[in-house]
Amino acid sequence: MLHDEISFETGGGEPPVRHLDVVSGPGGRRRWTREAKMRIIEETLRPGANVADVAGRHGLVPQQLYGWRSAVRARESEPALSFVPLALEGAPPSIASGSAAIVVETGDLTIRIPASVSADHIERVFLAARMLS
């Protein structure tokens, strides 16, 4: 046998591989749509389903499917950020040029955001505030 020749053996009396897909492209990796991933994950949640069998039917390794399931569970356990209605008390104050600000009050926390602050900085402040609550 040449050193660049590979032989495949099957165990357990299964028939030899009759069909082999070769995936080309960057890194030889397939891209799955969110819908396809969710459909495959749902298969694993059916009573009596075996993750290894579901993975095999779709050309995946069980570890990849377990990773998808973990990612979905992690996303579902995170509290969703949402908008709250704006409540104005009294007449809005006149705002001089450059002195505009947003004030966010929740519980005993008040966050004052000057107009000159970047959106990235505001996001970091809200994430830090969320971690403290």
Give the CB-side neighbour count of residue 18, counting CA atoms within 13 A: 2
Q: Helix, strand, or coil here: 43?
A: helix
**Residue 128 in tokens:** 């830090």
What pLDDT was estimated at residue 101?
79
Domain range summary for the chain, segments of one domain joined by +? 22-77, 102-131
Task: Answer for the pair 82, 91: CB distance below 8 angstroms, yes or no.
Answer: no
Confidence of residue 27 (pLDDT cuts 50, 70, 90): low
Q: What is the DSSP string of 55-84?
A: HHHTT--HHHHHHHHHHHHHHHHSPPP---
| Residue range 125-132: mean pLDDT, rounded | 79
Distances (CA, A) of 88 to 34, 103, 117: 40, 11, 22
Give the model confidence (pLDDT) of 47-96 as tens digits. Answer: 999 999 999 999 899 999 999 999 988 887 777 667 777 777 777 666 55
What pLDDT was estimated at residue 133?
63
Higher-pLDDT residue of 17, 36: 36
Task: Answer for the pair 34, 24: CB distance below 8 angstroms, yes or no.
Answer: no
Long-range contacts of 68-73 (CB under 8 A, 24+ apart): 68/37, 68/40, 68/41, 69/41, 69/44, 72/38, 72/41
Residue 127, pLDDT above cutoff 90:
no
